[in-house]
Structure 1
């Protein structure tokens, strides 16, 4: 019985990155694609209205010596830490995500926000060229 439990747990843990990529892709499509484009290359429909170039998010590894800057990406998406990689601030998605979850309480909402931000970051890591 113990082997069955540990085996099931191992399978669930192995599936987490793929599930995060799926959830991250959906969240990216809903929140980020309007500026960054569905392909994350910076050609979203609102890009014409923004005065600064929209970055190609498929080139983050290339711009960082082949290493995905996970913590920087998380900080930029979340936006609540004051870290900004844009000349003009992009929406503070950590606050946006948290405002949707106020009914579950502050601690649970914070955990859910971090999960959603991490899912988007994992998705971006998975599409690096």
Structure 2
């Protein structure tokens, strides 16, 4: 997975976290997110995209769910057959930037919650006194 000039392999752990953060941060059990990540990665292997024709209807449903969260996207290619007919080929691709955002969503939320400073801390104490 390449993002901002850095290339790494998309791991089951990374995709599990992205799925958990994208679908339901609190409600999806870790094991369910991991199972879905393994299932999806088994189709992709080391490829950047896969052809839609290899999917069974149940698998396609899971892919549509991940498309709704922005983890996957589709593209299509058109080619002309020898007899002149047009043929459309549909592909599934990972949206690496969105996956990266979802992976780092926990880090950003944690940093925001850990930041105990407040805008009110910047106001001098004498501004808090009432005028009589």
Q: Identify the TM-score tier after normalising by the shorter chain.
A: under 0.3
Between Structure 1 and Structure 2, which shows a larger proportion of helix residues? 1
Largest Rg, 1 or 2:
2
Structure showing greater relative contact order (alpha-carbon pairs closer than 8 Å, 6 or more residues apart): 1
Between Structure 1 and Structure 2, which shows a larger proportion of strand residues? 2
Under a length normalisation based on structure 1, what TM-score does the superposition of the two structures give? 0.26
